[in-house]
Chains A and B, each alone.
Chain A
């Protein structure tokens, strides 16, 4: 396989996952802003969400005020925002076009039709209920692509690079969602379990599609401790860091089986795995939740660099 093909497959998956995550992040900020009662807090929620998504700087250069319409436009449609849903879908399609021959017809069609449908949407028509509908549709796009990938893609190196892109991106995203609100998860004397906290926790879980499954796993009301445990350590939770890291390991091991050699990519994956290996929620809080997440994001990023070097991305 060409190094460029591996690179394109990796990024194609990342961009699709990122489009989904941008929609999720926006949805969280949007809901929080809708339900906030305190003056000015609506835009604070949107801003902190954009900080977590690392799109706040670009936004501030273009807009003075973070109102829902401006933020929706910036995160969903703006071409100048490289992480907007539009930019992600376009980048995914451009990558897909470059590696058309490496994709199955179903994978290609899911991306191509997603882009055609998305580019036919007029941003000014999207408000109110339409906005919710669009956010749901973006998630569906991602599911359709992953469905096609999982059920039609040959299990060889191309599959491994796709899965790596997907889970490196998802791990990064879940870590950022947690980091966005790490302080509401910290055990504090006051306010613990107050209405404000519960609302914020719900949002975090929602962003990870985890608000309902939480109940099945913990049979308990929302608690900061459990939420951190759930999104970081529970390997049965498909958006948790642990789950993502399991998949990163599983697919990078596939590459070792196929190519017969271990690379710097494996070392980088090991380093992320080590961070989670003996972690418990107690230890993470002791170390500092924010510090832990920062370290995780850093090590996770190094996987991309190591893969690029080891498998001739360029």
Chain B
């Protein structure tokens, strides 16, 4: 890892990297106010369409726009091919791992992953033991969080195997770019992301329970309009032509799931649920859940309905299990991991903890179960008080934190107040697993809009960009 971050547009000598050559030309042609006008147009477009997200703990209205940056991020076909191979390998291994963990637990018996780490983990779902989901797939919809530190140097930060969000932004960002800069699409051959909803539909259909006659009935299960990702739930349901249901719209009778329609009950076959495991079914999980469907898990166990993703997938994307992913890939596929894992310090180990506490200013500290950029500290950007606070936290609960070196996230040209400047980015490509593994060429690029910031989360001042994968 170098001290100066890798810039995806410029080489160290200032020359423009190949995928960005046409963009460079186009930027030069733009009259002075053009980008600023485009940026305003983009904002009103998103607001009108209602593409918003809710911010928890914010007083100013409950809906916000994620800032959209009008300069696309461009990835060449060759770069993408390597990347997607690595992603596919990871996803394959993690689904095999889930099947094993919920069946014979060979990997634990072989001692390759510590038993305690799995069986005592709150993300482990004993109710899933011995259950055989359709096609043996547990995680059907995956968003792998990655960062880039060099031309071919990608690290996986997190494998989101539960209910990854953000795919609607990938699709709407593309829509916005097509409207705002159609001429750029004439000069570049950009791989399509618009097929995602159709692929999602196919994926869901391919994992329908046995014995469904005709086209399976698909629904998206949402916690409701107050959920931060509600827009995405309705967007995906709409794009797939599936019914958007809340828990109250579904019920279970004689082990089968139905939705309440204007003409009475209608059978449901595959549920893309955007409700967390805990809230899925008050009879099996949290009894106080008002969002779920009583009896849903029993119907799932009986094989009359497919849940996408399966409950209990969180055990494979747990931050503590993450360190073992290279092991997991080797164990199930007999291959070396193609994508890198970020080295992770384990604070329960005394030596490692001592190192961590000495070097907090250089490291990133994350809560094991945290998400959305909350409960984390980026060492180089931290204050003394923050470091003191995290020191105390780590000492109090060493198992609750993982610590990693600060990666020099790559930068992309971004439109900011004073023109175009490099800003740090990450990438979340989306993977669908059913009868096949399909990776959408592109993904969600998040960008830290503050100069020098490494936190890309939308809840912490991050924006998004359209991500272009070029065709060969």
Contact = CB atoms under 8 A, between A and B. Distances in A.
Given A4-B248, A101-B238, A314-B248, A112 B261 contact: no
A2 B249 contact: yes
Contact of A109 (B49, B225, B263, B264): B49
A114 to B, nearest CB: 11
A312 B260 contact: yes
B238 A312 contact: no
Nearest to A255: B262
Interface in B241-298: 243-246, 248-249, 259-264
A97 B225 contact: yes
B260 A100 contact: no
Contact of A259 (B50, B249, B262): B262
A98 B234 CA distance: 8
B466 to A, nearest CB: 20
Name, among B224, B235, B249, B262, the residue most crowded by chain A CB atoms within 10 Å (CB to CB).
Answer: B262
Given A109-B49, A112-B50, A101 B263 contact: no
A101 B224 CA distance: 13
Interface size classification for chain A:
20 to 34
A312 B234 contact: no
A36 interface: no
A178 interface: no
A65 interface: no
A157 B261 CA distance: 11
B225 A94 contact: yes
A113 interface: yes
A108 B52 CA distance: 14
Interface size classification for chain B:
20 to 34
A129 interface: no
B48 interface: yes
A84 to B, nearest CB: 19
A109 B248 CA distance: 27
B225 A101 contact: no
Interface in A2-25: 2-4, 6
B262 A6 contact: yes
B240 to A, nearest CB: 9
Contact of A98 (B47, B225, B262): B225
A82 interface: no
A116 interface: yes
A1 interface: yes
A314 to B, nearest CB: 7
Contact of A2 (B49, B224, B225, B260): B260
B237 A101 contact: yes
B238 A100 contact: yes
Contacts of A1: 261-262
Nearest to A4: B249
Contacts of B244: 100-101
B230 interface: yes
B261 A2 contact: yes
B261 A116 contact: no
Contacts of B237: 101
Interface secondary structure of A, over-half rule? helix
A182 interface: no
Contacts of B50: 97, 100, 108, 112
Interface in A169-199: none
Interface string B346-366: 000000000000000000000
B263 A4 contact: no
Nearest to B47: A116
B64 to A, nearest CB: 13
A292 interface: no
Name, among A6, A97, A109, the residue most crowded by chain B CB atoms within 10 Å (CB to CB).
Answer: A97
Contacts of B264: 312
B268 to A, nearest CB: 11
Contacts of A312: 260-262, 264
Nearest to A98: B225
Contact of B246 (A4, A94, A100): A4
Contact of B243 (A2, A98, A100, A108): A2
A97 B49 CA distance: 11
A80 to B, nearest CB: 19
Contact of B259 (A2, A6, A94, A112): A2
Contacts of A113: 48
A311 interface: yes
Nearest to B243: A2
B261 A109 contact: no
B260 A311 contact: no
Contact of A311 (B245, B248, B249, B262): B262
A61 to B, nearest CB: 28
A238 B49 CA distance: 32
A28 B334 CA distance: 80
Contacts of B235: 100
Interface in A262-278: none
Interface string A286-314: 00000000000000000000000001101
A100 B234 contact: yes
A3 B263 CA distance: 8
A268 to B, nearest CB: 16
A109 B48 CA distance: 6
A109 B245 CA distance: 22
B48 A112 contact: yes
Nearest to B234: A100
B54 to A, nearest CB: 11
Contacts of B245: 2
Contacts of A105: 49
B472 to A, nearest CB: 35
Name, among B47, B235, B263, the residue most crowded by chain A CB atoms within 10 Å (CB to CB).
Answer: B263
A100 B242 CA distance: 12
A147 B122 CA distance: 53
Name, among A4, A100, A101, the residue most crowded by chain B CB atoms within 10 Å (CB to CB).
Answer: A101
A20 B249 CA distance: 31
Interface of B: 47-50, 224-225, 230-231, 234-235, 237-238, 243-246, 248-249, 259-264
Given A94-B225, A97-B234, A312-B260, 18 more contacts: A2-B243, A2-B245, A2-B249, A3-B261, A4-B248, A4-B249, A97-B225, A100-B238, A100-B244, A101-B244, A112-B48, A112-B49, A113-B48, A116-B47, A259-B262, A311-B263, A312-B264, A314-B248
Nearest 4 Cβ contacts at the A-B interface: A100-B234, A101-B238, A311-B262, A97-B225
9 contacts: A4-B248, A94-B225, A97-B230, A100-B238, A101-B243, A105-B49, A311-B262, A311-B263, A312-B262
